[in-house]
Amino acid sequence: MLGAPGSGKGTQAKRLAEKFNFTHISTGDLFRQNISAGTPLGVEAKSYIDHGQLCPDSLTINMLHDFLSRKEGIVGCILDGVPRTTVQADMLEGRGHDKQLPISVVINLNVDSDEISRRMLKRAEIEKRSDDTPEVIQQRIANYLAQTKPLEEYYAQRGVLCHINGMGSMDDIFDDICRELVARFPELAL
Contact by Cβ (8 Å): 76, 20: yes
Instruction: Give me the residues that bind ligand ADP (CB under 6 A), please.
Output: 5, 26-28, 31, 48-49, 53-55, 60, 81-82, 84, 88, 131, 140
DSSP 8-state assignment for residue 4: -
- Cα 190 to Cα 188: distance, rounded to the nearest angstrom: 6
* Minimum separation from the CB atom of position 50 to ligand ADP (A): 9
State which amino acid sits at residue 167. M
Residues with a known catalytic role: 9, 84, 123, 129, 140
* Minimum separation from the CB atom of position 92 to ligand ADP (A): 10
Nearer to ligand ADP, 12 or 27 (CB): 27
* Minimum separation from the CB atom of position 83 to ligand ADP (A): 6
Angle between the 27-37 and 57-69 helix axes, to the nearest 10 degrees? 90
Nearer to ligand ADP, 48 or 67 (CB): 48
Nearer to ligand ADP, 88 or 108 (CB): 88
| DSSP per position, 80-107 | ES---SHHHHHHHTTSSSSS------EE
